[in-house]
Chain A
Amino acid sequence: MKSAITISVCLLLIVVFGSFNLTLEKRVDNFTLRNVNGKNVSTQDYKDAKGFIVIFTCNHCPFAKLYTNRFNELNTKYSNLNVPLIAINSMDTLMYEEETFELMQLKAKKEKFNFPYLQDLTQAVGKLFEAQHTPMAFVIWKENNEWIIKYKGAVDDNGAHPKLANSYISKAVDELLNGKPVSNSETESFGCAIFYRK
């Protein structure tokens, strides 16, 4: 009886993990969004990119505000390794005036973003990634000419104290650059909820 229960639990775990894996390693299409400099940015523009660090963030969320320097540092380090960082704002601008394009421009300038800060006005890209919060991070990787989500969740494990933080993003990208699977492919994201218009 005990062994039957154990086998059942194992089968259940396999089914659950299998479905998790399918969910996580989903393909995402190329996307094009308007950058704060007014020009469109597309994943297809980056011919040499092995992957992207895609961060969903926004203007007003206090927890997301903690991460600007870390985003700059991640982009400095990994864009040289052909894994650039792209930040996307999918917040509903009708609901939150503070998320308008003009205020995105001001923020990027004031905080000296060294990465594209794209407005997802229709929220289509946020829906594509199923982004839930700001900040929420994804690593997508090119496999067979397709973008596959290899990591999703938090940027790291300490918002207010970067020096104490373990960077989930760095670890995932380093593993992928070394040809290894991502050992911690999904973590909990939290911050400000992204509400999608129906």
Chain B
Amino acid sequence: MNLMYKINKIMRNSLLILGLIILFNSNASAQSYNTLWIPDTLTGTNFNLTIKDTFAQIVNTGNQTITGGINNKFWGPTLFINQGQTVHMNVTNNLNDSTTIHWHGMHLPAVMDGGPHQVIPPGTLWQPYWNVTNKAGTYWYHPHLHEMTLEHVTKGIGGFIIVRDAEESALNLPRKYGVDDIPIVLTSRRYDANNQFVTQATTYGDYMLTNGTPDAAVSLPKQWVRLRILNAEIERGYNLGFSDNRTFYIISNDGGLLNAPVAVTRVKLMVGERIEILVNLSNDLVGTSLNLKAYNSGQTFGFPGGEPASAGQFGSLLNNVDFNVLHINVAATTANPVTSLPATLANNSYWTANDATVSRSITITNGNAGGPAFNFDNQSFQLNYINKTVNLNTIEKWTVTNNNIFGHTFHIHDVQFKIVDRNGNANGVGNYESGWKDVMYVPKGESVSFVAKFDDYADAIHPFMYHCHFSNHEDDGMMGQFVVTDINSVNEISKEEIPITLFPNPAHDKLFVEFKNQAQSAYYVSIKDFLGRTKLMLPQPYLKDGIDISSLSKGVYTISITEKGSKQVVTKTFIVN
């Protein structure tokens, strides 16, 4: 009897899955679209970001999907920040789990970077800040908790950062956000029979989600428009182009504007990469439409998403096929449209291979069935092992060699780099990737070199990461870490007591911390309640204005202060009344 019930259940579930497939297919064949969701914006220098468990009606019918969002049900707000300003992030983790938020592409101190070491426990406020030195461009933020990145990214946690600067602002470029300047985040998801995201034994999604919108469509004005496109997939690459094969123009790579627009009809955008493109819709008739598509069929093996299987761990309904990523309806021209393409964009001076005084080689290893997971130089990531030490202000050339079985994307924190050769050939670097980059595609059978300068932020303790940006690979250990050290600095190793005064105690809204020795300062401050729950994480806080403790309820707390020079930790108790 029980067996019959089980078989019935299996059959019912199978029918449900079949129903879902028919539903999605019928949607596609009927050409019905959903309006592209445009993330909200936050501006200024103080940003409140709350990461939370939530849910969303992503599949048209049936149950809601458990998602994660930042101030939202899926994805997060777009942060507009200006070069030269100091931005303060108030990141509250209301997830049911610890996580981190990494500011992808930003040049900032390692202790603010949001890598796997800056774990934010549930219920904790993390307050990093930094002076924005990046060039105008499209950056992003996303979770980076080791072994949990895939799960948290799949939930939808992340967001865009758009940096403005004087050079970009002086150009006549589309920049009406959501009108002629559109952020587009490319992802896909696989759903189970209950509409939940599948994260186990799954590399690719089966259904496109553009800005979290299935079958997305957007109305764009009949003029030049700018698309800021981010590949936020787990592994899938996108060979992007328009359905009428029109020429479009790449104006920006990961780290800012190119020197001049680059005309293309197709461009590969791999995981973690961003491009900004300009598309001319001024010759299109209002009411007509076109599609931005992934021309992913017929890619050579090694292209992520080119595998032939349509199901299973490495299969997908979107594998090795061409598919829509965005349906575009041409609408009326706006007031003050951009009517032409700038001939030149920026005046970048790039490092060359000859500028590098240090060369490093990294080899992609393992990843064979039954063996160790993909890693670098046969070494998987260890949280307490520093793989490389870089001297402050050096210009280095890193070469990543992939004689392995599959393509990967390589991302390095802290710096923007210039790709200087592919397979040793400087001419092998595409014009489409000729700008500042923080992610580069390393196809199967290639070695790719970049040059970067490691300036500004020395920290012998806190490391930056380099890793494959496929979050499943990164979770499995295809990651290393490096510290940037200043050989000219004196590393104080002192066992003497660090005299610190804490006042007032009891405190209410503000708590002041004063070092008796004015040469000393705080490297890190954390505050825990009497049960040991972390409430505040403050990297390199300004202490002169006091610590804002208004979010703390009445009770007894401990404050741990790590002194910057000696890295000694002083712990004291205080009361909030």
Contact = CB atoms under 8 A, between A and B. Distances in A.
B51 to A, nearest CB: 13
B52, B55, B57: most-surrounded residue (chain A CB, <10 A)? B55
Contact of B94 (A20, A60, A95, A186): A60
Interface residues of B, number: 31
Interface residues of A, number: 32
Contact of B5 (A13, A157, A181, A187): A181
B96 A192 contact: yes
Contacts of A98: 123
A21 B194 contact: no
A150 to B, nearest CB: 12
Interface string B21-64: 00000000000000000000000000000001111010000111
Contacts of B175: none
B196 interface: yes
A17 B3 contact: yes
B66 interface: yes
Interface in A1-54: 13-14, 17, 20-21
B315 to A, nearest CB: 22
Given A94-B532, A95-B533, A190-B196, A160 B5 contact: no
Interface of B, secondary structure class, is loop
A195 B98 CA distance: 11
A124 interface: no
A188 B196 contact: yes
A67 interface: no
Nearest to A92: B122
A122 interface: no
Contacts of A21: 2, 6
Contact of B96 (A96, A158, A184): A96
Contact of B55 (A95, A160, A184): A160
B8 interface: yes
Contacts of A158: 62-64
B9 interface: yes
B524 to A, nearest CB: 22
A83 interface: no
A197 to B, nearest CB: 12
Interface string A164-198: 00000000000000000111111110111101000
Nearest to B52: A62
A60 B531 CA distance: 19
A94 B55 contact: no
Interface string B1-24: 111011111000000000000000
B97 interface: yes
Interface of A, secondary structure class, is loop
Contacts of B54: 62
B192 interface: yes
B6 A20 contact: yes
A160 B6 CA distance: 28
A104 interface: no
Contacts of A20: 6
A182 B531 CA distance: 44
A159 B533 contact: no
A61 B53 contact: yes
B241 interface: no
Contact of A95 (B2, B122, B193): B122
Contacts of A95: 121-123, 533
A61 B68 CA distance: 12
A190 B192 CA distance: 11
Contacts of B53: 61-63, 192
B325 to A, nearest CB: 28
A181 B1 contact: yes
Given A62-B55, A98-B123, A159-B64, A190 B5 contact: no
Contacts of B123: 95-98
Nearest to B531: A94
Given A17-B3, A60-B94, A190-B196, A160 B64 contact: yes
B196 A61 contact: no
Given A181-B5, A183-B8, 4 more contacts: A21-B2, A97-B123, A188-B192, A190-B196
